[in-house]
Amino acid sequence: MKRIVLTTTLLAAALVTPAQAQARTATPPLVILNPGFEKGAEAWTFTPGTGVATNNPHGGTRLIYLDSGPGKSVRQTITVPATGRYSISAWIATGGAGGTFTATVNGAQADSVTLPARSIYSRYTLTGLSLTAGDTLEIAFGSGNGWVNADDLMISPAAPASPVITSGNTKIVAMFDWAKAKAASWVHQDGVVGPINIGATNPVDPGEAPYTPTYWAGYAHRTAYYSRDLAHQLAGAQILGFSAENKNMLRSFAASATPEHKYYPVWAINFDAKTWHTIDYKSPVNFVREVPATFELVEKANQAFRWTGDRSYLDDPVFWDYYRNATTGFVAQHDGARPNGVAEGTGKGIFQGVASYNEVSREPLAEAGDGIGAQYQAFRALAEMAQDKHEVRLARTTARQATDLKRYFNQTWSVKPGTGEFVRAYTIDGTPLTGFGKENSWFMPMKGIVEAGPRNEAYLDFIDTEATGAGRPANIEAITYLPDTFFRHNRNETAWKWMQHVYDERETRHVSNRQGLNGDYPEVPFTLVSQTVEGLMGVQPDAPRRAVATQSRLPGDIPWLQVAAIPVGAGTVDVRHDGRASTTFTNRTGAKIAWEARFPAGHRWLTVDGRRKPGTQKVIDGVTYTVTVVNVPDGRSTNVTVAS
């Protein structure tokens, strides 16, 4: 976009340290000049039959076109400033098949995509580009059997981690490899100057700013990441090694939750990680805010801490103040219509604060199932982090709050008096609501606030039935939550069914015309990555305590599955499941790991590297498992198998 002076930019606390700034200066980003063609033909070379147009831009006001027929091209040549690995993406629409999107390095083709006939914009990526400082990189679009329109190019750094998947099921391999590459293509290079405040038809205060370590989390036609999307994408990003991006983005939201905002984090932040996105922020009393996000960010910070062991999640006062305020001051300030210790929305719309992520509902909700479920997990997360911070009293107090809230939910909040119906929300006037509420239904079991047992199992059946039928959400990003919901409760076949549905719908047009295809919604690939590792493989890291738990959740048509090079702490681990009765764990973290191998309850004996030993029965969230803990030295592999 063109550079425009910002007039109403709202800045959060500085998020880039001097050391980070120095590193960014020392390693200049790989930059495409004029990537959105807003400066016309500048930096690009055009053959006859091509040019810059204004009739069909993906973003901004301009695009390039190539007329039908052979021999036409638009290209740019770049001298690579620093050695690295990258991917290059572009939004392309075509009137016929046969066009090309190509990268060459020093005259040799590095990667190329042959374009199908697809009249709506979709995002194509050239991957695996290993470049050396001084290389000549050429990016080119070639003509085909119909017109070609292209816009909004982006260069992303390669993922710092690269888990490798193998399996007896070819679909999960193809799914994970697609998701891994697609997710990495959404990550921004630190220091690249790019547009901000873009996304509305008539953007407010558009301009440019230097991006910091971030990735797209939200609509692809908006230059911002969203708190809800970040919460759901964080684990997938971490599994690909994007821990710096996760921390930067989480911290920007934490810094925004000021007393002026009544401890709500802002809803969306531009990729500079400090400018509130003006589509969603009008003033300190008029900005988009949704109750569950406040609590999910606490839970996800703890999740990032468990994956990385990075103590800044405990020691940075911006983070710690956020956790404390979210679980105390925020609840106190937003508990008026139904005073019961549950944070409330206003019932007046997203710019005044809503109780649920279900934005399409017109119900004037005070409290919702996704809000109370997220609040429960925030209490649990703070209790765990306080324990690691050696704040024992806070850990005990917050753990007790979690226990009390879960008891209240199951005995009172979710029970409609005189009926067997499951309450999933309350309106401002106190009316309990039942039936299917999309997010405010499936978040309750997904967050584990529903007690294990027949009531929970019946509600999971209800969610699956509704989501399969008339209650199915129209937007694919909502459906991406369903695998998480069912994996949590060991509904392996159902979770896998929904993973396949999300993947199979990746080339279907998204419900939002400006978004493109379902697979071009960033949440889709990030969640498929995490649902493979945390869901199917049941990997649960605890890097600060040098521990990892695993549990096979393989469905019947995946006989075995291995994911190697999963980043945990400063190293990696490999996990292989053969069915649901044998797991092999390899430690490459540089230190001894306490590995907890989990299996379904009812097995008295396990074998550890062929040696028979009794299993231990362990209750986790109301469900009993057979487990054993093995101390695995660095560089060693251990197998645990259910003994017959």
Q: Is the pLDDT of residue 643 over 80?
A: yes
Percent of the chain with pLDDT over 90: 91
Q: For 544, how many CA atoms within 13 A lie in the half-sphere containing its CB?
A: 18
Predicted local distance difference test score (pLDDT) of residue 644: 79
Alpha carbon distances (Å) from 11 to 6, 16, 253, 517: 11, 13, 12, 33
Which of these, 464, 446, 462, lies nearest to 454 by C-alpha position? 462
> pLDDT (tens digit, 9 = 90+) per residue, 112-158?
999 999 999 999 999 999 999 999 999 999 999 999 999 999 999 99
> pLDDT (tens digit, 9 = 90+) per residue, 543-585?
999 999 999 999 999 999 999 999 999 999 999 999 999 999 9
Predicted local distance difference test score (pLDDT) of residue 26: 59
DSSP 3-state assignment of 135?
coil
Q: Is the pLDDT of residue 19 over 80?
A: no
Helix and strand totals (H; E) in the chain: 16, 31
Q: Is the pLDDT of residue 203 over 90?
A: no
Q: Is the C-alpha dihedral spanning 72, 78, 83, 85 positive or negative? A: negative
> pLDDT (tens digit, 9 = 90+) per residue, 430-482?
999 999 999 999 999 999 999 999 999 999 999 999 999 988 999 999 999 99
> pLDDT (tens digit, 9 = 90+) per residue, 53-99?
999 999 888 999 999 999 999 999 999 999 999 999 999 999 999 99
> pLDDT (tens digit, 9 = 90+) per residue, 158-185?
999 999 999 999 999 999 999 999 999 9
pLDDT band, residue 4 (cuts 50/70/90): very low
> pLDDT (tens digit, 9 = 90+) per residue, 392-432?
999 999 999 999 999 999 999 999 998 989 999 999 999 99
Q: Which helix (H) or strand (E) holds 69?
A: none
In single-letter form, the type of residue at position 575 comes to V
Flag whether the pTM goes above 0.75.
yes
- What average pLDDT does this structure show over 363-390? 98
Domains of the chain: 31-158 (2.60.120.260), 290-472 (1.50.10.10), 540-642 (2.60.420.10)
Q: Is the pLDDT of residue 249 over 60?
A: yes
- What average pLDDT does this structure show over 486-510? 98
pLDDT band, residue 10 (cuts 50/70/90): very low
Tokens at residue 149, please?
Answer: 């329109």
Q: Is the pLDDT of residue 269 over 60?
A: yes
**In sequence order, what are the beta bridge partners of 91?**
123, 151
